[in-house]
Every structure is written in structure tokens, then in C-alpha cells.
Amino acid sequence: MRVAPLTDDDRKWVKERTELLFGGEFVVSGTEVHDPDKLPGFIATEGPERVGLVTYDIRGEDCEVVTLDALCQFMGVGTMLLEKVEETARRSGCTRLWTITTNDNLDAQRFFQKRGFVISKVRLGGMTKIRLLKPNVPRIGYYGIPVRDEIELEKSLSPAD
């Protein structure tokens, strides 16, 4: 598997994946609206196939993982992509890596917590506000769980960690 920075040739695909995974071309995190296809990121490929992508946004000492998308799950794609972002964030002097997921996304909650992230905020009912902007966000999510809450996770990138 190869991981390389996203290029302009990948942007259309990033847009398509965002639409599929997040119910729209943009992603809302807290008060921010992101266009993942305009963000920096990395793409994972296996031979000629694109198998995953991650986008991130660095603001001062914080680096947000905006989207992380493994096309084939549980094969190490997500781990490789997240490691690449962490490396980039550390090199850019970031002290905090953070992301948002939803209450139904148990795979993501497991994935991030097993990789050093802790739950730092829970916005109960947060998805109601998101749906005003993105009516296509499904009401029922992974494992048939109602999609209601936003869960923020973070990892300290202090040199000692």
C-alpha cells in the first residue's frame, strides 16, 4: 500500500467520497464548515486502486482530522493514513490532534480511542443542528443506531506523548 499527499487530480474523487460518506459536499465540525476537496490530505493506493483518504486542517497548534475514509475496512488503511496526519501535525508544531464523529460510529470510536485519542466533548443532540444545514444526513446510522450526538475526540501531541 502506498500513501501520498492528495493532488489536484484527486479532488473530484474526494468530493464524491465526501458526498457518499457525509451526506453532502461539505463537512460541519462544531461551528466550522469544511470543503474536504479543498483541504490538504493523503490518499492510500493499492496498485492502481484508491483505497482510502484523509483530509486535515491545521489551525495554530491544533490539527483537525476532518475526514478519514477507508474503502476497505480493517486492513490497516485508516491506521496508515492517521499516522501520516499525526506525523505532519507534529512536524508543523501542533500540540493537539482532534476529530469529530457521531454516536453511532462505534468503529471510529474504537479506532481513535485505541490510537491514543480520548473523548473530550459530547454534544448531545448536536446532529439536529447539523441537519438544518445538511438534511441528507441519515437518521439511522451504523448498526441501526439513531444518529443524534457529536463526539469530539482528541490526542495530545506534546513531545512527551
Ligand X SMILES: CC(C)(COP(=O)(O)OP(=O)(O)OC[C@H]1O[C@@H](n2cnc3c(N)ncnc32)[C@H](O)[C@@H]1OP(=O)(O)O)[C@@H](O)C(=O)NCCC(=O)NCCS
By rule CB under 6 A, what count of residues binds ligand X? 19
Q: Does 153 bind ligand X (CB under 6 A)?
A: no
| DSSP run (H or E) holding 86 | helix 77-91
- The answer to whether the beta carbons of residues 110 and 68 sit under 8 Å apart is no
Binding-site member from 3, 58, 75, 137 for ligand X (CB under 6 A): 75
Cβ burial, residue 109 (10 Å; 0-12/13-18/19+): middle
Q: Does 114 bind ligand X (CB under 6 A)?
A: yes
Instruction: Identify which of residues 72 and 93 has a Cβ nearer to ligand X in the complex.
Output: 72
Instruction: Identify which of residues 105 and 160 has a Cβ nearer to ligand X in the complex.
Output: 105
What is the closest distance, in whole angstroms, from the C-beta atom of residue 36 to ligand X in the complex? 10
- Region binding ligand X by CB under 6 A among candidate stretches 32-40, 72-80, 87-95, 123-131: 72-80
Binding-site member from 19, 35, 83, 107 for ligand X (CB under 6 A): 107
- The answer to whether the beta carbons of residues 151 and 100 sit under 8 Å apart is yes
- Residues with Cβ within 8 Å of residue 106, at least 6 apart in sequence: 142, 143, 145
- Region binding ligand X by CB under 6 A among candidate stretches 5-13, 34-42, 107-115, 148-156: 107-115
Instruction: Identify which of residues 93 and 146 has a Cβ nearer to ligand X in the complex.
Output: 146
Window 21 to 60, contacts with ligand X (CB under 6 A)? 21
Q: How far, in Å, CA of 12 to CA of 55, rounded?
A: 14
With vertex at residue 55, the alpha carbon angle to CA 38 and CA 74, rounded to the nearest 5 degrees, is: 145
